[in-house]
């Protein structure tokens, strides 16, 4: 897979020792359930612990299914009871953090798409002695909000990677579609694209309503005859944008962030130019495993810095290989 070399890409290597250490310590204990811990291995013999994974996932977004699969595999291996909850509304996500505190969990893994709304509840978590890691969104504020590490992609740099690739192909007027206004990661992606292609225009849509996404994007493409690329910031959004391009009779090409099996197939078929993968399975797995490592030996992965799980470009050169993993539900 093609990788971009960033300022902190070396930290991606930290994930490998962490996973290796986890595997080496997975000796003894009871046999894992079939399909868990890589399919029939053994779980650790460390004491049972309870971890809450709290995300801003909306209903129906397959991206979060992949995050959760990674988290569950780590939980199965690490003898962790995983409590998964999600809510895209910031206030309710904050309430879920308080709920986890009340349940006296041994660790919290949380996404920070709306950090200001979560800071008070996370402060209570750290005051209660509950270790916190963040994942997916909120890298720039993770440490400030009490997390000892963050697993995810640097979204500003991911956006710049897209901008550079589009600029190299001659794009002048991309439309970057944000499905949740105010989401720090999505805003950073489009800002990164615009930094490299100044003619980039932002289009806000309601990501909870795909019919509305398609109609809004169709109208925009019909009104913007010079739009040469439209960019989706999530696989379901991008797949809907493909329909909008067709309905509008637009010549705009389609690019994307994130991945699912159907989008990988569209890249193989040539319908989508490329996507930028942040490897969500790895985010979920690493977040839960890091909390177990912290409980087990006081280990703090990342050295106070974010551990990058992306960006990685998936295009016609490697999409067929990635599709094999996507068909297994890992990508």
**CATH superfamily of this structure's domain 155-277:** Response regulator (3.40.50.2300)
Residue 24 in this model has a pLDDT that exceeds 90: no
pLDDT tens digit string along 212-258? 999 999 999 999 999 999 999 999 999 999 999 999 999 999 999 99
- 189 vs 26, higher pLDDT: 189
- 23 vs 275, higher pLDDT: 275
Domain boundaries, the chain: 2-153+278-310, 155-277
Phi first, then psi: give them for residue 16, nearest 5 degrees.
-65, -50
55 pLDDT band (50/70/90 cuts)? very high
With beta carbons less than 8 A apart as the criterion, state whether 106 and 51 touch: yes
155-277 and 2-153+278-310 share a CATH fold: yes
Q: In the sheet that 132-135 helps form, which strands lie side by side, from edge to edge?
A: 80-86, 49-55, 107-110, 132-135, 150-153, 307-310
Which pTM does this prediction carry? 0.77
pLDDT above 90 covers a percentage of the chain that reads: 72
327 pLDDT band (50/70/90 cuts)? confident
| Residue whose tokens read 């991606």 | 12
Q: In the prediction, which pLDDT does 41 show?
A: 54
Question: 59-63, 108-112, 154-158, 214-218: which range is least confident on average?
Answer: 59-63
Residue 37 in this model has a pLDDT that exceeds 90: no
Q: What is the number of other CB atoms lying within 10 angstroms of the CB of residue 62?
A: 18
CATH code at 2-153+278-310 = 3.40.50.2300
């Amino acid at each position: 897979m093609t990788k971009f070399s960033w300022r902190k890409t070396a930290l991606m290597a930290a994930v490998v020792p962490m996973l290796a250490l986890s595997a080496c310590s997975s000796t003894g204990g009871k046999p894992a359930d079939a399909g868990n811990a890589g399919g029939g291995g053994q779980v650790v013999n460390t004491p049972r612990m309870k971890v809450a994974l709290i995300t801003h996932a909306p209903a129906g977004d397959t991206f979060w299914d992949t995050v959760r699969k990674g988290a569950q595999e780590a939980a199965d291996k690490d003898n962790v009871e995983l409590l998964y909850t999600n809510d895209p509304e910031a206030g309710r996500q904050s309430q879920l953090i308080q709920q986890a505190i009340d349940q006296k969990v041994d660790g919290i893994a949380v996404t920070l798409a709306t950090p200001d709304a979560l800071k008070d509840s996370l402060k209570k978590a750290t005051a209660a002695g509950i270790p916190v890691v963040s994942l997916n969104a909120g890298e720039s504020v993770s440490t400030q909000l009490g997390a000892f590490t963050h697993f995810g992609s640097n979204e500003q740099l991911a956006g710049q990677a897209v901008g550079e690739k589009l600029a190299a192909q001659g794009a002048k007027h991309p439309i970057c579609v944000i499905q949740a206004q105010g989401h720090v990661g999505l805003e950073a992606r489009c800002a990164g694209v615009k930094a490299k292609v100044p003619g980039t225009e932002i289009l806000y849509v309601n990501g909870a309503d795909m019919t509305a996404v398609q109609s809004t994007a169709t109208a925009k493409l019909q009104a913007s005859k010079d739009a040469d690329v439209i960019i989706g910031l999530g696989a379901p959004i991008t797949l809907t944008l493909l329909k909008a391009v067709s309905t509008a009779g637009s010549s705009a090409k389609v690019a994307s962030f994130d991945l699912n099996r159907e989008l990988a197939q569209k890249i193989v078929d040539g319908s989508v130019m490329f996507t930028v993968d942040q490897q969500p399975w790895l985010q979920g797995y690493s977040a839960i495993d890091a909390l177990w490592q912290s409980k087990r030996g006081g280990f703090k992965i990342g050295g106070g810095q974010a551990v990058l799980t992306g960006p990685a470009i998936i295009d016609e050169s490697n999409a067929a290989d990635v599709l094999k993993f996507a068909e297994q539900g890992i990508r």
